Amino acid sequence: MKGSGMDDAVWAALSYFDSVDPALAADARLGWDGLVEVSPPAGPTQHSVQTYLWMYLRHAAEGPDRAVDIARALGDLLDRLGRVGYAEIARSTVTEELVRIADDAVWLQHYRAATEQSGIGAVDTDLVTWQDAPTGVERAIVEKIGETLEVATIAGEFEPSKPGGRPLGTNAQAMRRRGVTDAVLTSDRGKDDSEAVLLEQLLDHRIDLWSNYSAPRAELYLGLRETLHEAAQPVYGCVRRLESFIGCIGDGVGLTDAGYLPDELVASIATTVFPPAERPLHIGRELDTEKVLTVRRLLMRVRLLRRSAGRLVPTARTRQLSSDGLWRVLTAGIVGTEYHPDTIAAEVVLARMIVGHEVTDVDATADDLARLLRAEGWTHSGEEPAAEHAEPLARTLIAELGALGAFEPTEPGASGPGVSEPEPSGSVATEEGKRLAAAVLRHRLLHTRYPSL
């Protein structure tokens, strides 16, 4: 029994239980063995107690009634070991409710709420969105953050700063927890100080995790690792372009009856926002001035501009955004975190940009995308995706990136004033375009919850 993670105190407690109630002892041992499996080497923490009871026990036990019995027996054992707080979790109504929920979707909703309410679970931040069932390095990082939050709670970090002060509100506590989480991710390096900070270790883990999803996806990420690590630092060319466009809108402008920008403003934007080599050849209505329309729609899609009473106006947060904040909004919103054929198409485009492939090589891009979609089980009208099905999926992203100045021509005569196409002949990503592509892909890796293999 000692070989299964039980020290002398646990052995003594189980021996006592066995002498008075052998069934209780057996359930307590089952609960302890399961808890040890998800706990760090130093022993159970509040996070590991919650993880075992709320996530694993409902599947490990033979039915919800047995799960409740094991949880209560484990509570008795933890109580006898002096872990009163942990014992209360094991015997709580929250634990019983969670192990009795049969529907996985409903359980997940309640599990996330209970974890957030506990104040101990690793919370999602601007840096990362956690997988529902972390594995490997991610699980170790989540446990470390849970330990840090537990220590911070005991130390009173989430209490009022002054004795007798008003308790922190829910939002203030959540903000502090996010701050602790980000601090651990960006400061701690694990056991060996020579290792990368935990956030970069997590990125490596996610690359490996997603590479295992399918062979074409593994090929997609091959050779991208170093660039994805470097993409943590922003670049500002595309940000300045968006800031200039937003500046042209000012406090808001009236739209035409058809819902477009006035022609004179379109002309002003075309000559103010875009450098001479990228300005549209024909400037007139917004509908016919593709780059202006593309950037405007992008800014609306990422919720930096919106329509209101026949006007185009900045959103409330737009007025408060720094250049770094605008960069984060762009990299988070231009593709997003959904797992869908459109966003998978975006990943293919981004990966090809980073390694220097021509963005206009539509056939090669479509072939790569079709192989990836087939490998991951997607269909098109009930059939396996072919290149002709995949080709249109990435066009919007290519147009948006082109309007942001992410590409440069490789063939003589394809540049200069008057070039208006979002994907001119022989275009490859600029160095800044590669960094933007890497930042968007990095964000997807750190924030997308992929379905289970």
Burial environment of residue 268 by CB neighbours within 10 A (0 to 12, 13 to 18, 19 or more): middle
CA distance 25 to 5: 16
Rounded to 5 degrees, what are φ and ψ at 426? 70, 40
Terminal C-alpha separation, the chain: 34
CA distance 393 to 390: 6
Q: How many angstroms separate the Cα of 339 from the Cα of each of 150, 333, 374, 428?
A: 33, 14, 14, 26
Q: Which of 266, 248, 253 lies closest to 309, judged by CA?
A: 253
pLDDT in tens, the chain (453 residues): 344 445 888 999 999 999 989 999 999 999 999 999 988 888 899 999 999 999 999 988 899 999 999 999 999 999 999 999 999 999 999 999 999 999 988 998 999 889 888 888 888 999 999 998 888 899 889 989 988 988 888 877 777 666 766 777 777 778 888 999 999 999 887 666 668 899 999 999 999 999 999 999 999 999 999 999 999 889 999 999 999 999 999 999 999 999 999 999 999 999 999 999 888 888 889 999 999 999 999 999 999 999 999 999 999 999 889 999 999 999 999 999 999 999 999 999 999 999 988 877 778 888 889 999 999 988 887 778 888 877 788 888 889 999 999 998 876 544 444 444 444 456 899 999 999 999 999 999 999 988 754
